[in-house]
Structure 1
Amino acid sequence: MYITRQRPGTERGAAENFTGTVWLDEIAAPPAPSRLRMFDVHFAPGAHTAWHRHPHGQVLHILQGEGRVQRRGGAVETVRAGDTVWIEPGEWHWHGAGPHTFMSHLAVVEAAGDGTTTEWGAHVAHEDPHA
């Protein structure tokens, strides 16, 4: 058993992967053989990810606020505190805060054998009224 009492500092989301102000706190990255990764992600109003996908999928659990999530080719969905979203392995998607509220979620992923967790794509088009 391991108890983590000191975590890495909060990091700002990289501009190439996020639109708007986003902060990430690493919650868990256990040593091998575990490939679990967990983050607490905080989005300012209107902030969101670029299109991306995960080799083993992703679970998002909304902690506070209201957000948006969309899979490529699907409708933009509204999510609220208490909702949990399962994103399929390899499914291109984006997620973030609604236009007028902050949103925080826990993001849980499993790294691939080479350690990668995310493949990043293009930013969400600005003409999308929900992004």
Structure 2
Amino acid sequence: MNIEPQPKTILNPEDRFPGGVYLDLLVVPHDGDQRTTVGKVRFLPGARTAWHSHARGQYCHVIDGVARFGNRRGEIIEVHAGQTLYTPPGEEHWHAAAPGHFMAHLAILEGDEGADIASWWGEQVTDEEFEGRVGA
């Protein structure tokens, strides 16, 4: 057994996390038998991820503020502190802090053997997508 080192806060890159998104990696796999990663991710108001998907799905447990999660069907789900959202494997989605709200969530996911945890990163989420005005 061992106590893991304190995580260092990093500012996520703007090309995947525009608007100010900070990450503390709390759990990182040590060997080939472990695949789970847990990160505390903090968003400034209106900050968001780019479109992405995860090979083995993802749980996001909101610990503070109000989150928005969107998918390619144009659905936007608002998630509040204490709630957990599950995104299935391969589903393209984004997460964000709702306008006027800071937001923090725990991102819990597994990597595929030999693959990046986030198996795919796409384009930026437009303001229309973020605001739910697609096709309006």
TM-score band by shorter chain is over 0.9
State how many pairs are aligned: 130
Conserved 8 A contact 1:35-1:115: no
Aligned Cα root-mean-square deviation (Å): 1.3
Measure, in 1, the Cα distance between the counterparts of 2:26 and 2:74.
Answer: 30
- CA displacement at 1:21 relative to structure 2: 0.6
Structure 1 unmatched ranges of 5 or more: none
Q: Which amino acid aligns with 2:26?
A: I
Measure, in 2, the Cα distance between the counterparts of 1:29 and 1:89.
Answer: 20
Give the corresponding residue for 1:22: 21
For the pair 1:130 / 2:131, whether they are aligned, the reply is: yes
1:48/1:129 Cα in 2 relative to 1: closer, same or farther (>3 Å)? closer
1:30/1:2 Cα in 2 relative to 1: closer, same or farther (>3 Å)? farther
Stretches of 4+ aligned residues off by more than 2 angstroms:
126-131
Give % identity: 38
Map Cα deviations across residues 16-66 of structure 1 (whole Å, 9 max, x no partner): 101201100000013121011110000000001000000000000000001
Map Cα deviations across residues 63-116 of structure 1 (whole Å, 9 max, x no partner): 000110012114111110011001000000000100001000000110111131
Structure 2 unmatched ranges of 5 or more: none
Measure, in 2, the Cα distance between the counterparts of 1:13 and 1:127.
Answer: 23
TM-score by length of 1: 0.93
Q: Look up the SS of the partner of 1:124 in the other structure.
A: coil
Conserved 8 A contact 1:50-1:124: yes
Q: Which amino acid aligns with 2:127?
A: H
Measure, in 1, the Cα distance between the counterparts of 2:29 and 2:112.
Answer: 14
Conserved 8 A contact 2:74-2:129: no
Measure, in 1, the Cα distance between the counterparts of 2:124 and 2:113.
Answer: 27
Measure, in 1, the Cα distance between the counterparts of 2:61 and 2:87.
Answer: 11
Conserved 8 A contact 1:98-1:130: no
Give the corresponding residue for 1:112: 112
Measure, in 2, the Cα distance between the counterparts of 1:58 and 1:70.
Answer: 14
TM-score by length of 2: 0.90
